[in-house]
Amino acid sequence: MKDTFINRKYIVMGLIIVVSLILLIRLFIIQVAKDTYRLSADNNVLRHVVQYPARGLIYDRNNRLIVFNQAAYDLMVVPAQTSVIDTVLFCELLNISRDIFRERMDAARSYSRRAPSVFLRQISAETYARLQEKLFLFPGFYVEARTLRKYSKPIAAHLLGYVSEVDESILRKDPYYRPGDYIGKLGIEEAYEKELRGKRGVKIYLVDVFSRIKGSYAEGRLDTMAVQGEDVISTIDMELQEYGERLMRNKAGSIVALEPSTGEVLALVSSPAYDPELLIGRVRSENFAKLNADTVGLPLFNRALQASYPPGSTLKPINGLIGLQEGVIVPSTKFGCNRGYLFVGCHSHSSPLDLIHGISNSCNAYFCQTYRRILENSKYGSISEAYDKWKGYLNEFGFGKKLGIELSNELPGLVPSTSYFNRYYGKDRWRALTVISMAIGQGEVGTTPLQMANMTAAIANRGFYYVPHIVKSVGQGKTIDQKFLSKHIISIDSANFEEIILGMEEAVNGGAGATARIAALRNITVCGKTGTAQNPHGKDHSVFVAFAPKDDPKIAISVYVENAGFGATYAAPVASLLIEKYLTGKITNSAMEQRILELNLTGR
């Protein structure tokens, strides 16, 4: 009996020892070996306050500041720390109603009573200055510094883009972003978001059980500094951009100006435009809705990249080039014109004409017959095969596809394939005359103003182009994407370009019959081509493409003025003014300038 009692005593003692060891080991794991418990505890006494970086600045090609930052503030609230306050004074300081106050407080409480949340976003510096003096009267409220975009001039909205708060789709797609972050939308802001946004920092504070800050955690050793975003030097000439927007005021259309030797975009105008200041701050959503609701002017629609127009007679130089390259015409080839060709009409001019004067007089008959010869060329086995060759040349110029500019809303235009016509007319049941309207840039073909400016740059360069782009450099000498530095060579002999250029020179600087004499400039040889883009919904669009100077091209340009008639009426004067402004810095034909500035084609 005594032995049994002793044995039980040792068993109980052994159990106690084993249990004690288990508890000690578990406690060691919890307190020493496992960080997760420690982190969980830390999270109850630490507050991580994000330090938002200043976004990178945007300059024009001459280092003039276009986009910069201004201070803004998010008013934060911890509901558990608030007490009875003077809501009348509080609402007056913030210029909000008491209903909004109650709505925001209810939202904050539903989120968390002890964790901070945004009460009011993007308070201006002026409002913050008023509030700061009285902030001690409102326990539970504090301010986080942010920055908003600011613009040196109310221009280039389509090109610059804007900044807005990230939405749920972005948060799901990109782990970098967190609720409350801002992101670039459209334009340079979107294309160079990663460079412009910088890097967030964080300050860690000790807080008590009521979420009140008691000081920096670990004396700030674990804090990280925000890193400002990199600055961007754009290709844009701010003065030319501003002047182009002035000329296009009260008109619908677009302007694209390129530097032929680099593909750099000098100006990109879409009209009607809007002040980029409208899409910053707390009024952004309201203003965006108003702009989006304008279904007549479509100010958010970037016509330079998204509008697809028939190129009209501005496509004739390309058909002339292809005709020369394919050997179906030579520069001296003459065609007669009796006010048109078959069912395609033409205006009155001298006849017959050679290639140069076919271009300068914009003879429809000349290019209909050239185009027919291209498609009926005996070296090809069928019209379809010849058409594919013609289409291939257009693709080389950048038609029928996206050129690859950084802007995400670029559209490809249309150069239909043979399968398109086979579906529409039946396989091998269409002929050159079926699609003859494309000889003069009408019918099924559609091009964007950007593509037309790029075509003009390729002609100016005698057979090559660089992909149009809007940024010269990023940060400290970082090179831009290699695709913008690669030359695209067109498989047409450079000698053939010389003949076409002579025709475009004659169109501007020639005698009777020249269609673009209004664009001529003193001491600058402008080469250009007028066009009239058919519009089934109203008056035709006025189109003009040009480059200058002839032998050392510095600018290539396309201008579209919607519902304005012939190319020489309005598009050519606009282009001429812009060319002179860019090359000389002044305007000599003040009467023409005044006429364009005062012209209102919108009826508004």
Per-residue pLDDT of 482-531, as tens digits, reads 999 999 999 999 999 999 999 999 999 998 888 999 999 999 999 999 99
Give the Cα separation of 572 and 588 in Å (integer).
Answer: 16
Each residue of 314-369: pLDDT tens digit? 999 999 999 999 999 999 999 999 888 888 988 888 999 999 999 999 999 999 99
Residues 192 and 302 sit within 8 Å (Cβ to Cβ): no
What is the separation of C-alpha 141 from the centre of its chain, rounded to a whole number of angstroms?
A: 39
Is residue 131 within 8 Å of 38, Cβ to Cβ? no
Asked which of 15-19, 172-176, 431-435 is least confident by mean pLDDT, the reply is 15-19
Instruction: Convert the pLDDT of each residue in 549-560 to its tens digit.
Output: 999 999 999 999
Q: What is the dihedral of CA 398, 402, 403, 409, to 10 degrees?
A: 140
Write the single-letter amino acid at 370: T
Helices (H), 186-328: 187-191, 193-196, 238-247, 284-293, 303-306, 316-326
Separation between Cα atoms, residue 204 and residue 49, nearest integer Å: 6
- Count the residues in the chain: 604
pTM for the model stands at 0.87
Q: With bands split at pLDDT 50, 70 and 90, how would you rate the model's confidence at 7?
A: low
Kindly report, residue by residue over 161-176, the tens digit of the pLDDT. Answer: 999 989 889 989 999 9
Query: How far, in whole angstroms, is CA 200 from its chain's centroid?
Result: 25
Q: Between these two residues, 35 and 365, which has the higher pLDDT value?
A: 365
3-state secondary structure of 516: coil
Q: What is the pLDDT of residue 39?
A: 43
Positive or negative: CA dihedral 300, 302, 580, 584 = positive
One-letter amino acid for residue 100 of the chain: I
Cβ-contact 574, 247 below 8 angstroms: yes
Are the CB atoms for 219 and 46 separated by under 8 Å? no
Q: Is the pLDDT of residue 226 over 50?
A: yes
Residue 263's pLDDT is: 98
Question: CA–CA separation, 82 vs 141, rounded Å?
Answer: 7
